[in-house]
Amino acid sequence: MSGKTFRKGAPVTWHWGSGTAKGKVAEVFERRVSRTIEGKRISRNGTADNPAVLVEQEDGGKALKRASELSHH
């Protein structure tokens, strides 16, 4: 259980490689969701306690994360 809530448009960060990535919440899912991102099919099992979050980055990239992987920016 992540205990974190995220709303559309909220700025978020997450660990990526040896650094930190950032973006804004585009959508929140409390169910299983799949998206094709950069040619790869990515799936996350979102739940009410730990939803899946689609994040849009400033460069136009997207990431599909669980709320437990994200921090409020």
Instruction: State yes or no: pLDDT of 72 exceeds 80.
Output: yes
Q: Which amino acid is at 3?
A: G
Residue 4 pLDDT grade (very low, low, confident, very high; cuts 50, 70, 90): confident
Angstrom distance (rounded) from CA 5 to CA 26? 13
Token representation of residue 64: 């599909």
Quote the pLDDT of residue 73: 82
Quote the pLDDT of residue 59: 92
